[in-house]
Structure 1
Amino acid sequence: MHEGRRVTAKDVAQAARVSRTAVSFAFNDPARISQQTRQRILRVAEELGYVPNPIARALVRGSTRSLGVLLPQDIPLVMENPYYAQFLVGLGQVCDREGLSLLLVPPLRSSMRDAIPYAAVDGFVVCGLATDRGEITELRRRGVPFVLVDSDELPGVPSIEVTEQAGIAELVGHLLELGHRRLAVLSLPAGGSGSSVPVGPLARRMAGIADALGVVGMSLDHPDVRVVEVASTRAEGYRATSELMAGPRPPSAVVALSDILAVGALDALRDLGVDVPGQVSVAGFDDLPEANWVRPALTTVRQPIQAKGRVAGDFLVASIQGERPHSGQVLHTALIVRESTGPVHPSASG
């Protein structure tokens, strides 16, 4: 009967001897029609092979039943960093509970702002907004709720933050207590394409390192402190550590601002025949599952990544449902000492 073209709601209405409005109610607002009528419509729809258009359904309901994750990088680069997998687990748990779908929204033509109008979602979790280049204005113009994560704080915008300055200060303090003074810091480009940490959070981590160094009369400008900016990938951790170890006065400890960089550092030191932690200590930030799998197991700063995703999802769902937006929440870090850090080697103490 309808071979060669898509079956429409009009076809279902004619076959079921009801109005098109009744067909719409059957799929989108069942309480508006009798159970008997709805069952007849659904039976006819199945017989005809009718599948509701999801865009049309969203227009009828005024809702897509989807949350958007506005990303600071293209999806392939984002997925190289296991941090995002953990974050999406937490956010996905909220979606499962609420019966929502999740849409990853990468930059469009390198612009997070340009991607916002094209995402069919009811609200956004905005990740890693380095500097507001019109994204907040565009989100407000669109009129959908949004939550900031791993972003610079903005007045009046709900956000989820982490005590990263205190966390990294505790980690570096741990290394200093072990006698380390020649430190290499594998940092991240501030808000660049290879960074999962935007300007504000990155600045807080660097401030935490400076806080710890100040306790022993050192600073980030000290000649024995090397800060190297690299993209947050395992390969870049490997490359940077190899170059540092080949240079003059190689570090006795490597502090990576992400675990995936630290794992790359461990790879490089193993290939160079350098004992960890006997000759060089390595520490990271995140406490990804990989931190406990590598050998030696990685000393790191644990941030509650999955909890961050859950809280962001809870805030966003509450706002979509009409509740007053949360002002934000601060989640706490913890130092996790494992086997990759130890006392400074005598040859590196001078």
Structure 2
Amino acid sequence: MPTPARRRPTVKDVAEQAGVAPMTVSYTFNRPARVAEGTRARVLEVAARLGYRPDSTARALRSGRANQLGVVVGEHLSYLFDDPQAAQFLAGITDVCVSEDLGVVLIPTRGDASDVDRVLTAAVDGYVLWTTVADDPVLAAVASSGRPAAIQGGPAHPGLACVGPDDRAAAAAVAGATPLAGATPVIISFPLDRRRTSGVLRGRDLPADLMDPRAVPFPVTGARLAGYRDALTEAGHHWDDVRIAVVERNQRDLGADAAARLLATLADSGPVVVLAMSDELALGARGAMGRTQRAVTLTGWDGSREATASGVWSVAASLRDQGRACARAALSGDLDGQPAPWTVVAPGGQPAPDR
């Protein structure tokens, strides 16, 4: 015969055994300063003996606060743990939540009609959004929810704090640190839009205004492409002819595949500069480029030790710090997002010399 489930102790049970009113038990847990020290100790002792814990849902309803921060991710949730930089971003958010005694709720979006309801019905006090596309309906929904929110990398949206580096300037700087004038430049790019279509393009195949969110909905991709174009044009290259491999996701194996496809399009055997939008993509490309006799210069993004130790030029813009900044903005309601600092890092991990 199955053992009957044990009844959960209630406020009334604690009050009866402690010899106090139910309101005194409630004050002990929610407003302890209003209860005499001796009475509070007696109530806590009885509660511990009975196994009583306050109902967090009821407490949230009374206070109007969930004591949780929502993290909205337009990726599979495993991405936050599989991608090294996304994991750093999440770690920065949790740094703040631990110090503020808050929980974290991970909210995935899929780009369908259910996204807005899933985000708005989450029991959270504010939101941090991972970078998304300019036409994502979640942006307007969160901005009008009455709860403070911040977004990493953009797109900028009224009512949201935007935290991130100047991607265009940083992309131009890291590209300009390489020997562009005597080499063939190729680019390994993040997705252009939410369809995540992969393939090899030329500069002429892209919109003229790469910063226009209607043309390139992912603002980080558009800004970095614009920065690469700035540097390449200054070095005398014709943007229309530059080869660009677009990958679906930020994965090392996709960087290797993209590099192999780009190599297959090059007719001569001269030096190559590979401008990759992340260190993961650059490290993947390094493996593919290692099988060629060409002189190869690689750039990435994130300033990881593995990349710079492997000879990759990179942009260091700490995503952990950006996670902290987003969490603080979402908790404070401060909408004045601050640009994230960045620097170009040379192979070996030292700041790049001025050119």
TM over 0.5: yes
The answer as to whether partners of 2:134 and 2:218 remain within 8 angstroms in 1 is yes
Q: Quick one: distance in 2 between partners of 1:138 and 1:246?
A: 45
Aligned partner of 1:242 in structure 2 is: 260
Seen in structure 2, the aligned counterparts of structure 1 residues 174 and 126 have a Cα distance that, compared at 3 Å, is same
1:161 is aligned to 164
Q: After TM superposition, give the deviation of residue 302 of structure 1 in Å.
A: 1.2
AA aligned to 1:39 is A
Aligned residues: 324
Cα offsets for 1:274-323 (capped at 9, x unmatched): 36xx6222110121343245xx242111113222122212222222xxxx
Query: Equivalent residue for 1:332?
Result: 341
Matches within 5 A, 1:218-297: 218-222=237-241, 225-230=242-247, 231-249=249-267, 252-270=272-290, 272=291, 274=292, 279-293=295-309, 296-297=310-311
Contact 2:73-2:130 at 8 Å conserved across structures: yes
Partner of 2:178, secondary structure, is helix
* 8 A contact 2:73–2:109 mirrored in 1: yes
Contact between 2:135 and 2:217, CA under 8 Å: does it hold in 1?
no
> Relative to structure 1, is the Cα distance of residues 265 and 339 closer, same or farther in structure 2, using a 3 angstrom cutoff?
farther
Output the CA distance in 1 between the equivalents of 2:276 and 2:69: 32
Compute the RMSD of aligned alpha carbons.
2.6
CA distance in 2, matches of 1:200, 1:119: 26
Hey, what's the Cα distance between the residues in 1 that align with 2:77 and 2:196?
12
TM-score (structure 1 length as normaliser): 0.83
Aligned residue number for residue 346 of structure 1: none
Q: Secondary structure at the match of 2:339?
A: strand
Distance 1:337 1:246 in 2: 28
Q: Quick check: 1:186–1:228 contact (8 Å CA) kept in 2?
A: yes
Closer, same or farther in 2 for the Cα pair 1:82/1:198, shift >3 Å? farther
- Offset of 1:3 from its aligned partner? 5.9
- Residues 235-275 of structure 1 show CA distances to partners (whole Å, capped at 9, x for unaligned) of 111211122233443771211101111111122234x3x36
Q: Spell out structure 1 runs of 4+ moving beyond 3 A.
A: 108-112
- TM-score normalised by the chain length of structure 2: 0.82
Counterpart Cα distance in 2 of 1:164 and 1:297: 22
Partner of 2:231: 212
Q: Which residue of 2 aligns with 1:54?
A: 56
2:9 to 7, 10, 34: 7
| Residue 101 (structure 1) aligned with residue 124 (structure 2) | no
Output aligned runs, 1:22-101, within 5 Å: 22-101=24-103
1:313 corresponding residue in structure 2: 327
Which stretches in structure 1 are left out of the alignment for 5+ residues? 320-324, 341-350
Q: Distance in 1 between matches of 2:159 and 2:111?
A: 28
CA 1:114 to 1:74, structure 2 compared with 1: closer, same or farther past 3 Å?
farther
Aligned residue for 2:23? 21
The one-letter code matched in structure 2 to 1:124 is: Y
Distance 1:63 1:148 in 2: 21
- Whichever residue aligns with residue 229 of structure 1, its letter is V
Task: Tell me how far 1:193 sits from its aligned partner.
Answer: 6.9
SS state at 2:274 partner: strand
Partners of 1:148 and 1:220 in 2: CA distance: 31
State how far apart, in whole Å, the 1-side matches of 2:95 and 2:9 are: 35
Provide the rounded CA distance (Å) in 2 between the counterparts of 1:191 and 1:23: 55
Q: Which amino acid in 2 is paired with 1:227?
A: I
Distance 1:260 1:19 in 2: 61
- For 1:322, the equivalent position in structure 2 comes to none
CA distance in 2, matches of 1:290, 1:235: 16
The percentage of aligned residue pairs carrying the same residue is: 32
Which consecutive residues of structure 2, in runs of 5 or more, have no partner in the other structure? 198-215, 350-355
SS of the residue aligned with 1:162? coil
In structure 2, how many angstroms separate the alpha carbons of the residues matched to 1:39 and 1:138?
46
1:86 is displaced (CA, Å) by: 1.4
Per the alignment, in what secondary structure is the counterpart of residue 237 of structure 2? coil
By how many angstroms is 1:108 displaced?
5.8
